[in-house]
């Protein structure tokens, strides 16, 4: 695995390679020509971990795991089902999820996220991998009361803090060969495998690129497996995908 994170120290925001807990600052464009400092920076309280990218758009894919479609008693789609989430819903690892309507049912959804690395439009599935920069962990927090009362899902899933993302981008992950798990307060709630995806990552990137231009840093949430469930104030949520660094957030 090759992990790249985004950090802030004072007024300086930067990407860095993460190796054994040490940071090697990136020089240049993370999505273009770049190199890494040979001198390590030791993590400290003065260095804040940010969401790994600041995308122009977040695209969420629904019903993309066979096991989740079965538990929802829904017929698997014949083509990817997707919608847009507000980029302002993104929060980093360690940040708190804020529920604007605590009396509603709000659910966790662990997801593998694709990070786009190059501008892309109308690409074939067999070429889509060239445009993927890497992968990271995510959640698609959902207000089910609103989702069920409206025909469009964007509002139910776009509240501020409803897209935890990170902590790092893994550039060498094998996206269709990863375990995907979610723990709530230490209890395993979602336990599946990306091999359960109905449409694999290359297919998703290709399909979405035929409908809109994707830009470097854009995020595609690839769907959630079975086991989704409710959250409430005080819950601690942890997403574990393969050997990637865990994404941990609490609910306030």
Let me know whether 116 and 72 are in one domain: yes
User: Residue 120: inside a domain, yes or no?
Assistant: yes
User: Residue 227: inside a domain, yes or no?
Assistant: yes
Let me know whether 179 and 143 are in one domain: yes
Let me know whether 117 and 236 are in one domain: yes
User: Residue 239: inside a domain, yes or no?
Assistant: yes
User: Residue 99: inside a domain, yes or no?
Assistant: yes
Q: What is the pLDDT of residue 94?
A: 98
Let me know whether 129 and 80 are in one domain: yes
Let me know whether 79 and 22 are in one domain: no
User: Residue 53: inside a domain, yes or no?
Assistant: no
Let me know whether 43 and 63 are in one domain: no
User: Residue 20: inside a domain, yes or no?
Assistant: yes
User: What are 105-119's pLDDT values in tens digits?
Assistant: 999 999 999 999 999
Q: What is the pLDDT of residue 43?
A: 81
Let me know whether 64 and 133 are in one domain: yes
Q: What is the pLDDT of residue 1?
A: 56
Give me the residues of the chain with pLDDT under 50, please. none
Let me know whether 7 and 92 are in one domain: no
Structural domain count, the chain: 2
User: What are 233-252's pLDDT values in tens digits?
Assistant: 999 999 999 999 999 999 99
Q: What is the pLDDT of residue 44?
A: 87
Let me know whether 114 and 37 are in one domain: no
Let me know whether 109 and 173 are in one domain: yes
Let me know whether 112 and 40 are in one domain: no
User: Residue 211: inside a domain, yes or no?
Assistant: yes
Q: What is the pLDDT of residue 233?
A: 97
Let me know whether 125 and 16 are in one domain: no
User: Residue 223: inside a domain, yes or no?
Assistant: yes
Q: What is the pLDDT of residue 199?
A: 98
Chain centroid to CA 235: how far? 19
CA–CA distance, 231 with 144 (Å, rounded to integer) = 11
CATH of residue 224's domain is: 3.90.850.10
- Domain hosting 33: range is 3-48
Q: What is the pLDDT of residue 26?
A: 97
The pTM score is 0.97
């Amino acid at each position: 695995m090759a992990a790249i994170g985004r950090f802030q120290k004072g007024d300086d925001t930067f990407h860095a390679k993460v190796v054994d807990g040490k940071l090697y600052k990136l020089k240049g464009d993370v999505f273009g020509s770049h190199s890494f400092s040979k001198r390590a920076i030791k993590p400290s309280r003065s260095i804040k971990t940010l969401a790994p990218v600041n995308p122009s758009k977040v695209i969420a894919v629904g019903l993309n795991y066979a096991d989740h479609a079965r538990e929802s008693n829904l017929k698997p789609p014949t083509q990817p089902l997707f919608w847009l989430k507000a980029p302002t819903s993104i929060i980093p690892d360690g940040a708190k999820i804020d529920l604007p309507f605590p009396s509603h049912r709000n659910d966790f959804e662990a997801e593998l996220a694709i990070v786009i690395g190059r501008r892309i439009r109308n690409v074939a599935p067999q070429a889509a991998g060239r445009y993927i920069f890497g992968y990271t962990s995510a959640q698609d927090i959902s207000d089910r009361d609103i989702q069920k009362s409206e025909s469009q899902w964007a509002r139910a899933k776009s509240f501020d803090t409803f897209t935890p993302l990170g902590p790092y981008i893994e550039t060498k992950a094998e996206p269709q060969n990863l375990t995907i798990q979610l723990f709530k307060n230490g209890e395993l709630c979602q336990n599946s495998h990306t091999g359960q995806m109905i449409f694999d990552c290359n297919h998703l990137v290709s399909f979405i690129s035929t409908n809109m231009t994707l830009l470097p840093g854009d995020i595609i949430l690839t769907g959630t497996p079975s086991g989704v469930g409710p959250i409430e104030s005080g819950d601690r949520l942890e997403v574990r995908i393969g050997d990637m660094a865990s994404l941990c957030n609490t609910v306030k």
